[in-house]
Amino acid sequence: MSGVICSEHITSMIGRPRESRLRRISKKVCSSESWRRRLPITIWLPKYNIDYLIRDIIAGVTVGLTSIPQGIAYAIIAGVPPQVGLYSSIFPGVVYMLFGSCKDVTVGPTAILAALLAKYVAYSVDFAYLAAFLSGCCILLLGVLQLGFLLDFISKPVISGFTTAAALQIAATQLKGLFRISGSSGHTFVSALINFFSNITTVQLWDTVLGIATIISLLVLKRLVLPVSATSSHCRVVTARIWQYFVRARNALVVFACTILAYILHLYGRTPFALTGKIHGGLPHFGPPPFSTRVANETIGFEGMLSVFGAEGFVMPLVAILESIAIAKAFAGSTSVDGSQEMLAIGFCNMLSSFCQCMPSTGSFTRTALNHASGVVTPAGSLFKASLVLLSVTLLTDAFYFIPRSTLAAIIMVAMSSLIDLKIIKQLWRNCKLQLMVYTSTVVVGVSAGLEYGIVAGAVLDVIRAMYIVARPNVTTHTFKVGNRDCVCIAIVGPLSYASAEHVSRMLRRHARTNVIVLDARHLTTVDIGVAENVISVILELESNHTFLLWNFPDKIRALLEDLHTGFGSRFVTGPSIDQHILGLDIERRDHVY
């Protein structure tokens, strides 16, 4: 009777955790807290107050002043109408306010996405709107499936190399606008440089002067800071704070000054600069993205548009989510970033904004940094930024006509300079030359063949590097002497996978030059069965002239070796020191002789 009771009790105890686990999962998915996390506005909006409102307005206006010239500039990079860049700074920002989990992130068009988009827009501008929709769907699907961990497989050298290649390419393509040369701007860094030097005789003086003056002004304003100390007067502190806002809005201020200059010269009948030209203001056409388009008087259906994107089209959603999550982590501080929620937010931003004639968008590092520095408190800052851009695109489009193209090119080139990280080259050279090779390959392929090929090349090389590390585990050796015996200790660190089977066998044979060979497994985690068989074969082959001691092997690995070869357990020894076991060999040998 007691046996039945115990059996029932054990059965109930086994079943209970499974029921509670299912209950916990369903509670986690269906709870109001879980749904609130998926709609973060429901968390911060009830706590909103007037102080938050003022700080968010200040940050939103500051970022909006930068978003206007950058939106136009990135639209020019992508080859879409300038107003599309402004629309893409409005509607994604509003959507991110609802679903975004990071208060600092500012969503809109970026130079890298614009550069990736340009080759498709060359066929038709409809590809820009469809790209936003498809990118949004892909990113949203990844978020729904909770696949944020997949981004962990893209290493920092690949991301840094891709960003560097993109910055170089985008800066090079702006040489055409900066110097107002003829010919194509080029779709890669190499082709842009070739075009520049091929048409260098067509450089226009006044566009060049204005562009270089813009670059100098931006760099000077960026570094011009009013020093404030603890003994500074209140007036000086206030002045320094106001000046700081001027510095943060330097892009807008420089564009405003150059636009005024171009307008005054126009009044006197002179137009020495290439101007942005007429921008069609007002609200966009609301409706689903185009699933067919006309190219060269021929109608291309949805399948034809997908074939134009091809496998390379998947790079855009990948880059979009990589940019956004990397930026969110950079500004989150000690707060953890929910990668899946960021995927949902960026996915909704792109998918919904594609109904408003927007190009693909993601988090912008420059505008996010400005948003953070401006003291934003909640994602509502994106709403005020979007409101300012909306006001400009509906009421101020006539003023955009006089924005010099060389000024926009200069702004982009200065922004790109901040994305090039040269410190990582020195760090990789000192610490990991294999990763430096991955970084270099990503940059070289990216600037020569195209950004999408660069990130693919970097990712493939990174996989090869990881496989090489697995196939060549960390094995260290050192020789020592105990009594009259020459010994070598072979320490293996980490797991031994099937790819390292032959390498481990060669290592054992290469170092089998002493009387006693100690295999140190203190830092060995797992061993594949193929590696275990090879190790056993080598030990049995060499035991006629050598003595093997298997020191501190984990129980699981010991069981595997004993299972593969009966009686193998006599070679295992444990303890903090190996010397006593080696001395024991001499004692055992003398006893045997006696």
Asked if residue 405 lies in contact with residue 276, where contact means CB atoms within 8 angstroms, the answer is yes
- Tell whether 179 is covered by a domain: no
Q: Tell me the DSSP string of 56-118.
A: HHHHHHHHHHHHHHHHHHHHHHHTS-HHHHHHHHHHHHHHHHHH-S-SS--EE--HHHHHHHH
Buried b or exposed e, range 75-114, using 16+ CB within 10 angstroms: bbbbbbbbbbbbbbbbbbbbbbbbbbbbbbbbbbbbbbbb
pLDDT averaged over consecutive 10-residue blocks of the chain (594 residues)?
A: 44 46 55 69 88 87 82 89 93 91 88 88 93 94 79 79 85 89 82 90 93 93 78 80 79 88 92 86 90 88 91 86 78 72 91 94 82 83 91 85 89 82 89 90 89 84 86 85 86 86 87 86 89 91 88 90 87 85 62 36
Identify whether residues 488 and 367 lie together within a single domain: no
- Tell whether 19 is covered by a domain: no
DSSP character at residue 171: H
Identify whether residues 450 and 491 lie together within a single domain: no
Q: Looking at residue 547, which CATH number applies to its domain?
A: 3.30.750.24
Q: pLDDT tens digit string along 251-262?
A: 888 888 999 999
Nearest to 339 by CA among 208, 167, 524, 148: 148
What pLDDT was estimated at residue 484?
A: 81
- Tell whether 32 is covered by a domain: no
Identify whether residues 200 and 299 lie together within a single domain: yes
Asked if residue 115 lies in contact with residue 293, where contact means CB atoms within 8 angstroms, the answer is no
Tell me the three state secondary structure of residue 217. helix
Q: How many domains does the chain have?
A: 3
Nearest to 170 by CA among 64, 289, 330, 319: 319
Identify whether residues 215 and 205 lie together within a single domain: yes
Distance CA 355, CA 24 (A): 38
Domain boundary pick from 402, 423, 444: 423
What pLDDT was estimated at residue 23?
A: 60
- Tell whether 41 is covered by a domain: no
Identify whether residues 496 and 582 lie together within a single domain: yes
Identify whether residues 419 and 271 lie together within a single domain: yes
Identify whether residues 358 and 453 lie together within a single domain: no
Residue position matching structure tokens 């102080």: 51
- Tell whether 10 is covered by a domain: no
Distance CA 83, CA 357 (A): 9
Asked if residue 558 lies in contact with residue 525, where contact means CB atoms within 8 angstroms, the answer is no
What pLDDT was estimated at residue 26?
A: 55
- Tell whether 529 is covered by a domain: yes
Write out the residue range of the structural domain in which residue 502 sits: 473-593
Asked if residue 59 lies in contact with residue 371, where contact means CB atoms within 8 angstroms, the answer is yes
Burial tier of 494 (Cβ tally within 10 Å: 0-12, 13-18, 19+): middle
Strands 547-551 and 572-573: parallel
Identify whether residues 167 and 311 lie together within a single domain: yes
- Tell whether 178 is covered by a domain: no
Identify whether residues 379 and 360 lie together within a single domain: yes
Strands 524-527 and 547-551: unpaired
What pLDDT was estimated at residue 64?
A: 84
Asked if residue 547 lies in contact with residue 520, where contact means CB atoms within 8 angstroms, the answer is no
For 441-470, give the secondary structure using H, E and C: HHHHHHHHCCHHHHHHHHHHHHHHHHHHHH
Identify whether residues 462 and 485 lie together within a single domain: no
Identify whether residues 229 and 97 lie together within a single domain: yes
Distance CA 323, CA 364 (A): 8
Asked if residue 430 lies in contact with residue 231, where contact means CB atoms within 8 angstroms, the answer is no
Domain boundary pick from 437, 470, 503: 470
Residues with Cβ within 8 Å of 319's Cβ and at least 6 positions away in sequence, in order, are 112, 113, 116, 162, 362, 455
Distance CA 38, CA 388 (A): 27
What pLDDT was estimated at residue 589?
A: 46
Nearest to 104 by CA among 336, 384, 372, 339: 372
Measured torsion, CA atoms of residues 37, 40, 43, 48, in degrees rounded to the nearest 10: 170
Identify whether residues 415 and 459 lie together within a single domain: no
Asked if residue 473 lies in contact with residue 493, where contact means CB atoms within 8 angstroms, the answer is yes
- Tell whether 542 is covered by a domain: yes
Nearest to 385 by CA among 249, 222, 218: 249
Domain boundary pick from 442, 470, 498: 470
Tell me the three state secondary structure of residue 182. coil
